[in-house]
Amino acid sequence: MSTLNNSTNVFWQECQVGKVDRQKLLNQKGCVVWITGLSGSGKSTLACALSRELHCRGKLSYVLDGDNLRHGLNKDLGFKAEDRAENIRRVGEVAKLFADAGLICIASLISPYRKERDACRAMLSDANFIEARLHMVFMNTPLELCESRDAKGLYKLARAGKIKGFTGIDDPYEPPEKCEIEIEQENGVCPMPAAMAGQVVSYLEVKGFLQVQ
């Protein structure tokens, strides 16, 4: 998955304050909520609503938004397949650090390819944890609805051929074959942001991530 050369002559440095200590301090368990879906599916809306709900409950979270990260960490990457793979790898590594710090990291990215999402899930596996630390949320919003929203005007540009390799138009989106949470329309109506956030928070609560025993 990596497009970088492996580092050599480097060694892992352990510190006296570890993951368990940080989690006890925050009274929560670090994990990653990975939100995937087409552009316009509601990923950022859910991410912000979820962060707000967790904040109201006194829980510390941080949103890694795909567009925001391309202004800094990933500004050197384009949208070719190999750049997309490196984009996801970097976000996975950052998300892993946030989870290790004890935060609930909310990663909101199209992340169109199963291979890269699966690699991030494997990256965040931990034999010392009973619970998985990466929880996939699939925004299962039909392309037609995403395109009708088109708040950024990207679908229109892609249809006109002015944007190449746009997910859902001339580049594939591979839906998750398995995910912890799937959010979709009910009777043709999209759930409200607060309802979507509540669904994810309830899941985290049941799984024991919102407190330390």
Domains present along the chain, CATH in parentheses: 20-142+174-206 (3.40.50.300)
129: confidence class by pLDDT, cuts 50, 70, 90 = very low
Q: What is the three-class DSSP state of 35?
A: strand
Confidence of residue 123 (pLDDT cuts 50, 70, 90): confident
How far apart (Å, rounded) are the C-alpha atoms in residues 135 and 145? 25
Helix or strand (DSSP H, E) at 107: strand 104-108
Q: How confident is the model at residue 11 (pLDDT cuts 50, 70, 90)?
A: confident
Give the pLDDT confidence of 63-89 residue by residue, as tens digits: 999 999 999 999 999 988 899 999 999
d(CA 56, CA 79) in angstroms, rounded, equals 36
Q: Which of 111, 125, 148, 202 is catalytic?
A: 111
Confidence band for 127, pLDDT divided at 50, 70 and 90: very low
Task: End-to-end CA distance of the chain: give it in Å, rounded.
Answer: 36
pTM tops 0.85: yes
Does residue 111 carry a catalytic annotation? yes
Those residues whose C-beta lies under 8 Å from the C-beta of residue 20, and which sit 6 or more positions away, are none
β-bridge pairing 104-108 and 61-65: parallel
Residue percentage of the chain with pLDDT more than 70: 93
What's the CA angle centered on 72, arms 66 and 75, to 5 degrees?
80
